[in-house]
Amino acid sequence: MGVDRDYRCRVTKPEDFNEFWGLVLDELSSIELNVECEKDELRSDSEVTVYQIFYDSLDHVRISGWYSVPNTPVNRLPAILLVPGYQSDPPIPKDWSAKGYACLSVNPRGKVRSRSQFDPGYPGLLTHRIVDKNTYSYRGFYADAWRGIDFLLSRGEVDSERIGVAGSSQGGGLAITTSAMRKEIKAASAGAPYLCGFMDAIELTDTYPYQEINDYLRTYPDRLEEVESTLAYFDGISFADQIDCPIIVNLGLQDNVCPPETGYALFETIGSKDKKLFEYEGHGHEAGRYVHSGIMDQFFDKYLKG
């Protein structure tokens, strides 16, 4: 038995989806960015300068990130917003800057360096206040990632017409939501996207982190309807029709964390006419990274450097 490529998830985009997120964006725009950017001498080298950066996000939560730029002088740089996985620590993106990009690797709320005001922990983040879309953890978490674009736009060295977003796993899910909500994004790469087809994924997999939702529903079975209602607002599939930039998606067909079925359902929904799917048979959650990294490089070179 193989993966069903025609699988479709049961999530339905809420009628007031745009209104809900519009209010979040309004609230976000009313908060000063309040950027701090301090050079990290220890992590900088002859090729790349690294900065520890901070900005304010929704609820005035202070968000941290690693920002790096190539040392080679150029007029304006293409830029990448690098969005993180679920339980991994956001990396210092020297490798992106060595390829000629300004790159922000953002630590949304609850991640290491951004957890003094909000920290539901791991496991925990995925179900924190999951019965209420207005206080669900990912309301702020998504906003923190999107806010990274404002940081990049505040940098004089960044070319505002050449900004991309990249990530895998949770980063893949965040690449979907960010490219849907921020039209400054000109190219997106989403690998093994998490946060897509939640209610299907918890039945298709028997692994963490999706098991967090099953743990929650086993404990509070009467809250199923509220959980499903909240998640519809946060499901990448609900965002995907609003993506109109060039985008590539890669899936591992033996992905044991983010089921490929949900990846197919997501891809079908993506609104962009310039979208391409890369399927990796014989690969798990790394989704063919060793081959696909070269494809990503070519993709961003074409759309951000071309």
Partner 1 sequence: MSDNRPLDFGQFWYSLGKELSEVPIAAETETLTMRSTDFADLYGIHISSIGPYAIYGYLSIPKGDGPFPVIYYVPKNASVLEIIPQGTSNQIRSRYITFSLACRGMRTADSPYAAMYPGQLTEGIESFSSYLYRGVVADTLRGLDFLLTCPSIDKSSIVAWGNDNALLAGALHGAVTHIVSTPSFLYDTINQASRTSSYPLEEFNDYLRHNPERKGQISEILSYYDLRFHSSAITAESLIMADYDGGLFDKKTLRNLTENMNGAVTVHPSERSSYKDGMFCEKWITDKLFGKDATPIVPNHWKLE
Stretch binding partner 1 (CB under 8 A), from 15-23, 156-164, 206-214, 232-240: 206-214
Question: Rounded to whole angstroms, how far apart are CA atoms 222 and 225?
Answer: 8
- Least Å distance, CB 88 to partner 1, is 7
41 is a contact residue toward partner 1 (CB under 8 A):
yes
Candidates 14-22, 36-44, 156-164, 231-239 — which segment interacts with partner 1 by CB under 8 A? 36-44
CA distance 210 to 204: 10
With CB under 8 A as the contact rule, the residue among 95, 150, 226, 228 that binds partner 1 is 95
Q: Report if residue 65 touches partner 1, rule: CB under 8 A.
A: no
Q: Identity (one letter) of the amino acid at 92?
A: I
59 binds partner 1 (CB under 8 A): no
| Catalytic-labelled residue, pool 189, 200, 283, 285 | 283
| d(C-alpha 37, C-alpha 157), whole Å | 14
Choose which of 19, 156, 219, 222 interacts with partner 1 (CB under 8 A). 219
Q: Is 114 a catalytic residue?
A: no
Residues 268-287: x/- map of binding to partner 1 (CB under 8 A)? --------------xxxxx-
> Any contact of residue 241 with partner 1 (CB under 8 A)?
no
7 binds partner 1 (CB under 8 A): no
Q: Is 128 a catalytic residue?
A: no
Residue found under tokens 């339980």: 87
| Strand order across the 275-280 sheet | 36-39, 48-56, 62-70, 102-107, 77-82, 158-168, 185-191, 247-252, 275-280
Residue 295 is a binding residue for partner 1 (CB under 8 A): no
* 113-119: long-range contacts, CB 8 A cutoff, minimum separation 24: 113/64, 114/61, 114/62, 114/63, 114/64, 114/144, 116/62, 117/59, 117/61, 117/62, 118/59, 118/61
Instruction: Name which position in 99, 208, 229, 278 contacts partner 1 (CB under 8 A).
Output: 208
C-alpha distances in Å from residue 210, one per residue of 183, 249, 279:
29, 20, 22
Whether residue 283 lies in the annotated active site: yes
User: Binding residue for partner 1 (CB under 8 A) from 215, 226, 228, 268?
Assistant: 215
Question: With binding defined as CB under 8 A, does residue 113 bind partner 1?
Answer: yes
DSSP state of 305: I
Q: What does the alpha-carbon distance between residue 251 and residue 192 come to, in Å, rounded to a whole number? A: 5
Residue in 27, 132, 161, 206 binding partner 1, rule: CB under 8 A: 206
* 100 contacts partner 1 (rule: CB under 8 A): no
Binding status of residue 142 toward partner 1 by CB under 8 A:
no
Q: What letter represents residue 189's amino acid?
A: S
Structure tokens at 235: 């499901």
Closest to 143 (Cα-Cα) out of 34, 3, 21, 279: 21
Query: Among 112, 160, 161, 298, which residue sits at the site for partner 1 (rule: CB under 8 A)?
Result: 112
Residues near partner 1 (CB under 8 A): 1-3, 41-43, 45, 86-89, 91-92, 94-95, 98, 112-113, 121-123, 204-209, 211, 215-216, 218-219, 252-257, 259-260, 282-286, 290
Active site residues: 169, 255, 283
